[in-house]
Amino acid sequence: MMTAQNGVGSTRPSLSFEFFPPKKPEAEVLFWETLDTLMPYRPDFVSITCGAGGSRQAGSGALVRQVRERTGLTTVAHLTCVGASRPTLTEMLNDYQECGIATILALRGDPPRNDPPGALEQGAFRYAEPFVAFIREYFPQFRIGVAAYPEGHPETADPSVDQLHFRRKVEAGADFAVTQFFFENDVYFRFVSDCRAKGVHIPIYPGIMPVTDFKQLKRLSELCGSTLPRWLTERFEAIRDDPEKMRQAGVRVAVAQCRDLLRRGAPGLHFFTLNQCVVVPQILEELVGEFY
């Protein structure tokens, strides 16, 4: 799925870029600049993240449509079901369908931190699995992507239990998965191999997080349960006050990770761009030729 869209008969690995909806006008300029900078790499798709809950996703919906209209790229809409009713989700899916969006990354999402306790139970779907089943049943024409967690999801203590939940989500109708970021490729390949052993055969695209701001990365990794290996922490702590060295090291680390992933058979790369236009092209320039 989603390979070979960039040229008839092409067998290049999939390439995709994830963006988030910018909030301020200057961030909006950077968003479009980043998108323009990345377009020449002919991504198989770009995806736009969304907030949690129905009304909080309105900005993402408009942006998804704009990106598709302006670039003609396959644009994937992230859609979270947490706290949202069936009618709200149905309306959003109808809107996407009407404007030609063909792929949804179906997520549960997390209730915003200031939501009252119990917010998770208030939506129509408690987990992504029944949401995927709902989309599959009522909107069969959508391609559906889901999230995967090679190190397990922080809410489920036992990663092998999380893998069973992942399998159920796939059985409910997912066509592909994108992983949370990780830095040890063995963890990804072990996860994929465990999934294959459990009968999961969809493509599982590794999510790549280039390191540009180590402080921010530490916060993120705590939130989403991605381990920062000791070698990585030591390397970036040593240059924490030098943004240029940090950026260069971030590119080196990502290039090595991506090269190893693709050489060992990963089906593609999904970059969390953080709407930054500088580092991802620098990483890709080193992969062009061998893989792209």
Ligand X SMILES: Cc1cc2nc3c(=O)[nH]c(=O)nc-3n(C[C@H](O)[C@H](O)[C@H](O)COP(=O)(O)OP(=O)(O)OC[C@H]3O[C@@H](n4cnc5c(N)ncnc54)[C@H](O)[C@@H]3O)c2cc1C
Min CB(69)–ligand X separation in Å: 20
Query: Contact with ligand X (CB under 6 A): which of 14, 63, 92, 129?
Result: 129
The residue type found at 200 is V
Site for ligand X contains 180 (CB under 6 A): yes
143 near ligand X, judged by CB under 6 A: no
Residues binding ligand X: number (CB under 6 A):
22
Please list the active-site residues: 18
Where would I find the beta strands (DSSP E) of 112-185? 143-148, 176-181
Choice from 38, 93, 135, 178 touching ligand X (CB under 6 A): 178
Closest CA to 207 of 157, 254, 277: 254
> Backbone phi, then psi, for 7, in 5-degree steps?
160, 135
Angstrom distances, CA of residue 66 to CA of 83, 100, 161, 238 = 26, 11, 39, 41
DSSP E strand stretches across the chain? 14-19, 45-48, 75-80, 103-107, 143-148, 176-181, 204-208, 268-272
Angstrom distances, CA of residue 238 to CA of 121, 208, 279: 44, 22, 20
**Single residue of 21, 109, 250, 267 touching ligand X by CB under 6 A:** 109
Task: Please identify, using beta-carbon distances, which residue of 109 and 210 lies nearer to ligand X.
Answer: 109
Min. distance of Cβ 22 from ligand X in angstroms? Answer: 14
Considering only 33, 155, 171, 285, the residue that binds ligand X (CB under 6 A) is 155
Alpha carbons 71 and 130: distance in angstroms, whole number: 32
Residue 68 or 78: the one with the smaller Cβ distance to ligand X is 78
Residue 279 makes contact with ligand X by CB under 6 A: no
3-class state of residue 268 by DSSP: strand
How many residues does the structure list for the chain? Answer: 292
Options 77, 84, 104, 107; binder of ligand X; rule CB under 6 A = 107
Cα 126 to Cα 151: distance, rounded to the nearest angstrom:
22
| Residue 217 interacts with ligand X (CB under 6 A): yes or no | no
The number of beta carbons lying within 10 Å of the beta carbon of residue 230 is 8
What's the token pair of residue 234? 């030591």
- Which residue of 65, 108, 143, 247 would you call a contact of ligand X, by CB under 6 A? 108
- Nearer to ligand X by Cβ, of 89 and 249: the residue is 89
User: Segment near ligand X (CB under 6 A), from 8-16, 29-37, 101-109, 249-257?
Assistant: 101-109
Report the residue from 35, 50, 64, 262 that binds ligand X according to the rule CB under 6 A.
50
Q: How far is the CB of 125 from ligand X (least distance, A)?
A: 8
Binding status of residue 16 toward ligand X by CB under 6 A? no
Per the structure block, which two tokens stand in for 249?
Answer: 């090291």
- Binding positions for ligand X, rule: CB under 6 A: 49-50, 52, 78, 80, 107-110, 127-129, 147, 153, 155-156, 162, 165, 169, 178, 180, 207
